[in-house]
A and B are shown apart, each in its own frame.
Chain A
Amino acid sequence: MDTTVYLPVGSSSPAVRARSLTKTYGTGEAAVHALAGVDVDFAAGQFTAIMGPSGSGKSTLMHLLAGLDTATSGQAFLGTTDITRLGDRELTRLRRDRVGFVFQQFNLLPMFTAEQNITLPVELAGGSVDPEWLATLVSTLGLEQRLSHRPAELSGGQQQRVAIARALIAQPDVVFADEPTGNLDSRSGAEVLSFLRRSVRELGRTIIMVTHDPSAAAYADRVVLIADGRIAGDITDPTPESALAGLDALRTLEPAVQTGPVA
């Protein structure tokens, strides 16, 4: 078994860690090993992309790291919290305070305005919205003119920006995004990706994004490659070309690649 722990380059303390994380769907003959022992660290204050071919286990990894699904074995840490040990009540609290999500389908509530959608997590937690932080988010994401609109009146890109603001409103330790550009045209996609990057650079957030698109992955500070439920490589400061090369390497079933500057 591969015991390498994929560490971020030049990192401070990791925001998220996985240790021997496995997930098996079904049993016996029909068992699918969606994750077959994953060890990986994600640094705080970084924008990391998880990339791999379809069915490689990207989404599964993200669900486990975010405490949305239970692991078959192994551990997942958020900071120093082992989230594989938490019950539903603690997980709910964790999701309120420490984790944010951005979905491929946006998943905004159709009956609420953009602003109501953004502030919903804080309200659910029974807290009050920090108006300064809201203003910062709204201006960073360029939503000033759209706050009173309902999702049906917004374009896909705008909806996804509202979703990003919603994910950031509670100032979580980490934001997970699963294929956030999957439902967007390339221009809106690019816009959303640069907003995600700005959130990391300017607002000091930590974002982990799942994608199968090398040009999307290139917006990240680091790319973690995954294939057949295992970490298969790591690219620091990716470019679309290096990301594509990494992905191609996986497709040709080559052994794990390690590119980028090695410290």
Chain B
Amino acid sequence: MPTSYPTARLTLGQMRRSVGRLTAAGVAIAIGTAFVTVTLLAGGVITRTTYDMVAASYAGADVVVSVDDDQGLAAFDAETVEKVAAVDGVAAVQPVVGYYGDLRNGGKGGYLAFAPVPVEPRLSPLELTDGAWPASGDEVALTTKVAERLGAGIGDTVTLRRTVYPEGWADSRSEDPAAELGEPEEVTEELEVTGLTDDPYGAYAGYGGAAAVTSVTIDAWNADEPSPYLVTELLVALDTPPEGTTVPAGLDDAIHAATAAVAGDVAVKTTQERAEDQTAAQTGGQNLVFLVFVLTFAAIALLVAAMVITNTFQVLVAQRTRTLALLRCIGAGTGQLYRSVLLEAAVLGAIASAAGILAGGVLAQVALLVAPAFDLGVPLPGAITPTWQSVVLPFAVGIGVTVLAALAPARAATRVAPLAALRPADAPTLRARSGRARLVIAILCTLGGFAALGLGVVLGMNGGPQFGLVASVLGGALSFFGVVLSSVLWLPRVAAGLGALVARTGPAARLAVANTLRNPRRTAATSTALLIGVTLVTMMSTGAASARSSGDVMLDEAFPYDLSVAPSDERYLADVHDATAATEGVAATAKVAHAILTVGDVEGLEVTAADPAELARVVNTPDDAERLTEGSILLTQEAAESLSVAAGEPVTVTGPEGSIDLSVVLTASAPLNRTLTSADLARVAGDDTWTDVWAHLGGGDDPTTVLADVQQAVGQVDGSALVMGPAAQAAQFRQVVDVILGIVVGLLAVAVVIALIGVTNTLSLSVIERTRESATLRAIGLSKEQLRGMLAVEGMLIAGVGAVLGVALGLVYGWAGAATALSLMGEVQYAVPWTDVIVVIVVALVAGLLASVVPARAAARTSPVAALAVE
């Protein structure tokens, strides 16, 4: 049989001889397809998790009756609910209602979901585990998690603050409904905890738990809302559960008859059907965004893998020149050789993809098994659900990428002249062919791209961030494409420059540098694969670092303090101040008074006043505060200009108690504009002032925790106070940036890993094709250590060049991105993420070094006798 397929026989024969060489390339593809597989499986997990949560909320219902219309206004009324309950065969009906409110025990707590006490236990996802269900309007049952968070147990009283809106509020067309209908009223409900519940299927996991109150109570609260909760779903329990996945026709008709009075489309579905529909509706968009986002990174990883494949096949073809020429001599056609290479790629792609899919599946499954150890707050399924897409897609992509990557080498194989068989064998070199078209395209892309990037930055800095971002992203992508395309032309030169420095360290290093440069195309391709990953990683961390420090500076300028507490009434000031000052993590506090006065000839300006020494201790710009003395006022440059005064000149401040001349001190800090001393304020303002407490946090504690603690402490004091924490806000902002950065860098890391495999591959191939040369060197006195050292330097040089250039490019792109996106918010800080940069370069160098270990061992093993062997 094989004889009828000469190409296939030839291919398999060639592959058998090159197994080692193909393995590394296969690993690169396998990682890429594993990435795609994991992504698709994760998409499945998200859908599954959503389905589980939706299905959980339907608890043990047999049938779900739902209503829908175009405006989203259709709902079931109480009468209809009763009619449905009266239908023959229906055991119980539970209308789906909810409420969202701020439930607290002292300072602890926050917004959470409320659920009704179920009519019938199997129609509620909540199970009572302790105590009793609430029976009256002042009782509540909490899920264990909520109870823990509130620090409340059975018998304790918790409070719900809600707003009662006058009737007709939502329908009112008036601009100021309060004037017409009366002010909304704040009421506080005291609720006694009567029971604890469990949410075994995680129906409320997404809300962090739930509180149950009687359905009458929940209806009453909803009635006070401007837009009441609409009952669009009824959970129905049947006397006998329906068989199969369809609702029996008789029941369907009966329920439709019972709900005939309701406007809108009524649907009667089994719970499973309904849950599937709802899941599709909920995850459709979200899943797509997730898939596109993550698959972008998978595409980058596959691109890098493709570069590794191209490199490998190029070397294989070069190594087989003699064989190929011989085949041509004995009558092989160019088409046969072309197909032979592509078939080899397809076989490699198929094997590697299959391995990658398997690895991806195992990885995803292991992740699901490990996940419960971390409390993610979401009930994840225990096993992956492979779909045909999650197998076929990565398989097709893996083979496709491998074959595409092999096209150019396959063409190279057809160009081997039959005559080459007759020439003496020499170490094959891949000549960098002129590629004038490539050069022109690369230059156009690079120049055009950087021009667009520059335009984007200019637009971004001048208040047009939307167009700026589009121009920057397109320009950045285009210029990066140009840079990558042209790398074969300039990267070897950079490597030579860097190599010249390295070469001084000894003969082994000199050999290494010379070796790196003898195959410019291969070196360029290998380094470029790494450069892509490193550029993107550096760009992201530079952008994030810039965003972080810009954010810090902007927040410092906007808020001079870490935390402020504004008591609702001057009466509570002393207690609020003491409670704040006593909280752990608060380093210093100051009482800061405010009043509305006339400054110069401008009436109705808010001024700030504090004791200068106290103020200096709490503000983030203490220099400005220290310049404040009795008899002076801090003004920003702009404020001074609008009042037509300069630094040192007097300005008159007038209040109910009189006026005073203060000398102007300029400040750069906007929030300290119009600040004077408490003593001066007392002279003019009289009683008409209100006071805040400003606090400075010690460096050690997490600002978010301190903020919560202050809220708790202030909550214990009589009266209420508004607590604001710019420091916590900054910390949260920083945390969000860090999490996003972590995810993105983690995803990009796959591309970097593949590129590093490419470095090993290139080194191994070089070692294989230089066997005779290594043996010669050994014969003329190169020691094993020197041979290993030579390859180590080669590996580090290839990796180092990619890393260093990647970091440089990444910084440029990161800064350009920051300038475009962040300029709108204020002055952009161009940060260098030193730790990340150093880590990237060190990782690349160490990986280059490690990449050389295996090939070096192979090279050191070859006996010098090989040098004398006639091939």
Contacts and interface: CB of A to CB of B under 8 A. Distances in A.
A133 interface: no
A183 interface: yes
Contact of B773 (A107, A123, A125, A170): A107
B737 interface: no
B776 A125 contact: no
B780 A101 contact: yes
Contacts of A183: 424
B867 interface: yes
Contact of B870 (A68, A93, A100, A105): A105
Given A89-B783, A92-B783, A95-B780, A68 B863 contact: yes
B723 to A, nearest CB: 71
Interface string B416-428: 0000000010110
A109 B781 contact: no
A105 B779 contact: no
Contact of A124 (B429, B517, B772, B780): B780
A198 interface: no
Contacts of B511: 109
Given A68-B865, A68-B868, A178-B868, A103 B776 contact: yes
Interface in A90-116: 92-93, 95-97, 100-101, 103-105, 107, 109-112
A110 B865 contact: no
Interface residues of B, number: 31
A63 interface: yes
A107 B779 CA distance: 11
B515 interface: yes
A69 interface: yes
B359 to A, nearest CB: 39
Contacts of B870: 104-105, 182
Contacts of B518: 110-111
A249 interface: no
Interface in B854-871: 863-865, 867-868, 870
Interface in A236-253: none
By size class, the interface of chain A is 20 to 34
A107 B776 contact: yes
Nearest to B871: A105
A124 B782 contact: yes
Interface string A51-74: 000000001001100001100000
A252 to B, nearest CB: 27
Given A105-B870, A109-B514, A68 B779 contact: yes
A59 B868 contact: yes
A69 B863 contact: yes
B223 to A, nearest CB: 87
B784 interface: yes
> Which of A96, A107, A167 neighbours the largest number of chain B CB atoms within 10 Å of its CB?
A107
Interface string B281-315: 00000000000000000000000000000000000
A229 B509 CA distance: 42
20 contacts: A68-B779, A69-B863, A69-B865, A88-B784, A101-B780, A101-B867, A103-B776, A109-B514, A109-B776, A109-B777, A110-B429, A110-B518, A111-B515, A111-B518, A120-B780, A121-B780, A121-B781, A124-B786, A126-B506, A126-B507
Interface of B: 424, 426-427, 429, 506-508, 510-511, 514-515, 517-518, 772-773, 776-784, 786, 863-865, 867-868, 870
Given A96-B780, A101-B780, 7 more contacts: A59-B868, A103-B776, A107-B776, A109-B777, A121-B781, A124-B508, A126-B507
Interface of A: 59, 62-63, 68-69, 88-89, 92-93, 95-97, 100-101, 103-105, 107, 109-112, 120-121, 123-126, 166-167, 170, 178, 182-183
